[in-house]
């Protein structure tokens, strides 16, 4: 094994590598857009920050409605082709940001964008399940997460050039680059073979397919995972504000915190995925994630009363622990969403799982900024208690879901 292959998140040559390269191209574009979109829409288009925020919030909520229908579409048709088509459409929508010249046009474009992004997540999950198979889908998910973090980091770095140039042309090139990466990703995806996800092979008898929105045990497990997923809002929104407003740490510490999280995700995502191979082990991993993240919350809060050097040190050390919890949660959530799904409706189940996580992300910013920044340490302690309690409840919820799963479904080991 070469030195590069030992540290590269890219898997060996094969179908997973092809999917990983498609993910890398896609997320480089995401890094370009995430980094430069706010400045493009305010400095070049001329919209206010409040208008941009409102448009993206409305679009995000409307976009959640596409998750289940597109996931169901991937169950009924080749998920490879469905995803390639969606990404071509995303290229067109991404390029249409060049036509935005008013708030109503931004709302329309942002809604189209959010519908495709939300639906593409469910389609991607179905394609990952087809490529990885029952035994390798969690490993594939973790691999793609590591690659995605690498791609976003590369895209953000490239976008920094445009931000340094700070001209309308430079920002428009970011939009063009984002659109182009969708086309590259779609072309790579079409190099994969066709799949028929969720359909019984050979002469296997047909049976009634469960509907995820009527599968109470699955909804309970997925809702618990969505509650734990609130920690992502803490890292990306609350911690940066906390560092600047409540601690003596220099503002550049925010970049250091996010860099530590990104680097560790690239290096550890695949390795930490090995402990969640079925519903039982995933439930235990979810419990570990909830407890680890619960410990991180009060440690971040404690940085408010420390000198600058000590605050920086504790912020970075806590970020290491937080990232372990983050990776355990991502792996466990994916394993549970796959293992508890009806094998004939993987895409639809992933769509519902994404819908619940999306609702948590939509509510998270308002609730957590009020609780953590407004209440201070008591709010951080309360969030830690919620994360711990949810993690501790996960094994019992999964046992309940397994006990109420039809015998025809693939069984997982009890937690």
| pTM, full prediction | 0.81
- Tens digits of pLDDT across the chain (415 residues): 444 444 467 788 889 999 999 999 999 998 888 878 888 888 899 988 788 878 888 888 898 888 889 888 888 889 999 999 999 999 999 999 999 999 999 999 999 999 999 888 889 988 998 898 888 888 888 889 889 989 988 988 888 888 888 889 999 999 999 999 999 999 999 999 988 645 444 444 455 677 888 899 999 999 999 999 999 989 888 888 898 889 999 888 888 888 899 889 988 888 888 777 788 899 999 999 999 999 999 999 999 989 999 999 999 999 999 999 999 999 999 889 888 988 888 888 988 998 999 888 888 888 888 889 889 999 999 999 999 999 999 999 999 999 887 654 444 444 5
- Whether the Cβ atoms of residue 16 and residue 131 lie closer than 8 Å to each other: yes
Q: Which long-range contacts (CB under 8 A, 24 or more apart) does 238-243 make?
A: 238/368, 238/369, 238/372, 238/373, 239/300, 239/315, 241/369, 241/373, 242/300, 242/303, 242/304, 242/372, 242/373, 243/303, 243/315
Residue bearing tokens 């680059």: 177
- Whether the Cβ atoms of residue 219 and residue 213 lie closer than 8 Å to each other: yes
């Amino acid at each position: 094994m070469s030195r590069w292959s030992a540290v590269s998140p890219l898997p060996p040559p094969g179908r997973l590598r092809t999917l990983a390269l498609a993910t890398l191209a896609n997320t480089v574009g995401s890094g370009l857009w995430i980094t430069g979109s706010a400045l493009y829409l305010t400095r070049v288009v001329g919209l206010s920050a409040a208008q941009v925020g409102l448009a993206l919030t409305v679009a995000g909520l409307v976009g959640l409605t596409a998750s289940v229908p597109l996931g169901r579409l991937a169950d009924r048709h080749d998920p490879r082709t469905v995803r390639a088509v969606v990404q071509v459409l995303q290229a067109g929508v991404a390029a249409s940001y060049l036509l935005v010249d008013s708030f109503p046009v931004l709302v329309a474009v942002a809604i189209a964008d959010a519908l495709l992004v939300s639906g593409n997540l469910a389609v991607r999950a179905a394609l990952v399940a087809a490529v990885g198979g029952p035994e390798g889908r969690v490993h594939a998910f973790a691999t793609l997460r590591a690659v995605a973090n690498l791609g976003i980091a590369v895209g953000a770095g490239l976008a920094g050039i445009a931000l340094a140039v700070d001209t309308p042309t430079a920002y428009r090139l970011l939009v063009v680059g984002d659109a182009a990466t969708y086309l590259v990703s779609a072309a790579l995806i079409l190099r994969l073979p066709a799949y028929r996800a969720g359909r019984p092979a050979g002469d296997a008898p047909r049976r009634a397919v469960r509907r995820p929105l009527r599968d109470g045990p699955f909804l309970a497990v997925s809702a618990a995972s969505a509650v734990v997923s609130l920690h992502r809002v803490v890292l990306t929104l609350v911690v940066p504000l906390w560092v600047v407003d409540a601690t003596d740490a220099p503002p550049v510490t925010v970049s250091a915190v996010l860099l530590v999280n990104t680097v560790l995700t690239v290096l550890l995502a695949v390795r930490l995925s090995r402990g969640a191979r079925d519903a039982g082990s995933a439930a235990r991993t979810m419990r570990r994630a909830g407890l680890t993240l619960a410990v991180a919350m009060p440690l971040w809060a404690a940085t408010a009363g420390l000198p600058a050097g000590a605050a920086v040190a504790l912020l970075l050390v806590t970020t290491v622990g937080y990232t372990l919890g983050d990776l355990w949660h991502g792996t466990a959530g994916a394993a549970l969403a796959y293992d508890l799904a009806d094998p004939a409706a993987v895409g639809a189940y992933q769509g519902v799982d994404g819908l619940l996580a999306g609702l948590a992300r939509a509510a998270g910013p308002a609730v957590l900024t009020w609780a953590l920044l407004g209440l201070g340490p008591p709010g951080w302690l309360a969030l830690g208690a919620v994360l711990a309690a949810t993690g501790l409840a996960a094994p019992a919820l999964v046992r309940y879901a397994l006990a109420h799963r039809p015998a025809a479904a693939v069984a997982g080991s009890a937690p």
